[in-house]
Amino acid sequence: MSTIAPFKNIVFGEHSAEIEKVESPSLVETAYFDESGYLGALLGSSKFLILGTKGSGKSTLIQKIISTQAYDKQITSNDLNQFPFSNFQSAGFSGSIGKEQTLPKSWTWILVIQLLWSLYEDQGRSPNSDYDKFMQGLRQIGFAPATKFDDIVQQTRDSKSILHGPSIEFDALFGVNATVNTFKYDRNTNQNKDINFSKLVDYAMTILLQQKSENKHYILIDGLDRALFSEKNSYDSISALVSECSHLNQQFREGSNPFKIIIACRTDLFDKLPLYNSNAIRNTYSLVLDWHDDHRDIYKSRLIKLANYRAAATLQSEVNIFNIYFKKIIEVQGRERLTAAYILYHTRNTPRDLIMALKFIQESSTGDNIPITTSEIITGLTKYSENYFVHEVEDELKGHISETDIEKTIQSLRFFGRNRFQSKKFTDQMESLGITEEHATHILKLLFDASAIGNLIVKADGQLRPVSRHYSSSARLVLSSDIIVHRGLWKAFDYV
């Protein structure tokens, strides 16, 4: 036993992919668990949209793709956490063509220009004189290689008054004399500016579709979550982005062009987008990160395998941490359970939840006890509940309801003192805090979608069966059935 490395020494991961990239950068390269083949599906098929709940591994998958960059694979990554979605139309290219056309054209322009710059240093690119003239013209009027969307927006704004036909040989395209300024900002002829911008986008797209290369070029887009906390018109902008990415990817496939755009998006955000073809995109082009497995054989769970895979990277050998560091059975309140299952039941079946549960158990263990004691496990899961899980639920509600309503929601859940209650009890309690029954019911649905609560459904044989989103993504809240609070909240709410 003395030769076994302390449990505390194992690096399972961090609170987020962003923190992990800084604190444990080798994890993505050496310990990325992909039994489901997510990476291959994104790079080798028509799927381009990564969907998943918070903590399901979307950003980690993006980081993994970035780590695969090589001489024949050029990757440009965009974190849109600070991108001005709500005023993108006015900040970038608005005008008389209207929002319906401005947003799609603006996103196409940004994506196409970024891909054109990605090609600029590509030694495997086939020679093309139109491309060379176009890029030379962009440089002449102030454009420069840009790896951020914000830079392309700013360069476009700065160049509105100096884009000339002769500089990029646009005279034939626009049908004007070469001596005429074709993209000049004029307060009195706003329409001319917009028509020319639309044609400029089309021309840039024509140039891009002519390009062939031995190498692949990827644009990765992450950081859309912040849109949940901004104005609702952000949804229009993101809808246009997703729609244009789908359209562009389709053209790239049809033309055998070496380009692909990949987006990571939270499922609850995608569900809010006013996309006319959302169902087609979801069913045909999305990759849904779903980690729920049949728990009848807990050791075959991909989440348990993920924990072991990450532990193996630290210990430099294949390992089952639940055999080495834990007793197989844990007894809590007179009931025996498999220890691996007991820990997993405190999660919403996401990698981030399990990683954080294990980290809190690590912090609560002395490092000398093997196996880890029941007391250490419960202490760790109590801290996990209080310091992580309850705040994750609060974060899930942000952007949907006000901070005040979130406080009242948590207060009401604490009020019951037990993990099972009827929906009417909740709405009555919320009404006593000034929340209408209708709004309280809406909050219950949000809690259900966040896997903070579930239902107890009576089966045909009279047995009760828990139903929740973290067990089945298609589950829906049934107000007439009893509500059960997720086990991850019990210790924070003093239910146990």
Mean pLDDT for the stretch of residues 372-379: 95
Tens digit of each residue's pLDDT (9 = 90 or more) over 160-205: 544 433 334 444 433 333 333 333 434 444 444 444 677 788 889 9
Tens digit of each residue's pLDDT (9 = 90 or more) over 67-91: 999 889 999 999 998 887 766 655 4
- Please state whether 333 falls in left (phi above 0), alpha (psi between -120 and 50) or beta: left
Rounded Cα gap, residues 496 and 346, in angstroms: 13
- Tell me the chain's radius of gyration from C-alpha atoms: 26
| Residue 262: DSSP 8-state | E
Rounded Cα gap, residues 350 and 88, in angstroms: 33
98 falls in which pLDDT band (50, 70, 90)?
low
Q: Among 149-163, 180-194, 304-318, 374-388, which stretch is predicted with the lowest mean pLDDT?
A: 180-194
Selection from 258, 178, 228, 217 nearest residue 73 by Cα: 217
CA count, 13 A, side-chain hemisphere, 6: 11
Q: Which two tokens stand for residue 85?
A: 């979605």
Rounded Cα gap, residues 10 and 488, in angstroms: 23
Whether the ω angle into residue 6 lies within 30 degrees of 0, i.e. cis, is: no
Mean pLDDT for the stretch of residues 125-154: 86
SS (H, E, C) 273-296: CCCCCHHHHHHHHEEECCCCCCHH
Tens digit of each residue's pLDDT (9 = 90 or more) over 6-30: 999 999 999 988 888 888 888 888 8
Task: Report residue 172: phi and psi, to 5°.
Answer: -70, -40
Mean pLDDT for the stretch of residues 351-369: 91
CB–CB of 175/191 below 8 Å?
Answer: no
What's the whole-model pTM score?
0.89
- Please state whether 227 falls in left (phi above 0), alpha (psi between -120 and 50) or beta: alpha
Rounded to 10°, the helix 278-285/233-254 angle is 50
Selection from 198, 181, 243, 165 nearest residue 95 by Cα: 198
Q: Which two tokens stand for residue 404?
A: 């005040």
Tens digit of each residue's pLDDT (9 = 90 or more) over 260-275: 999 999 998 999 899 9
β-pairing, 329-332 with 259-266? Answer: unpaired
Higher pLDDT, 464 or 179: 464
- Entry field: residues in the chain: 496
The separation between the first and the last C-alpha atoms of the chain, rounded to the nearest angstrom, is 34
Tens digit of each residue's pLDDT (9 = 90 or more) over 59-68: 999 999 999 9
Q: How far is CA 23 from the centre of its chain?
A: 20
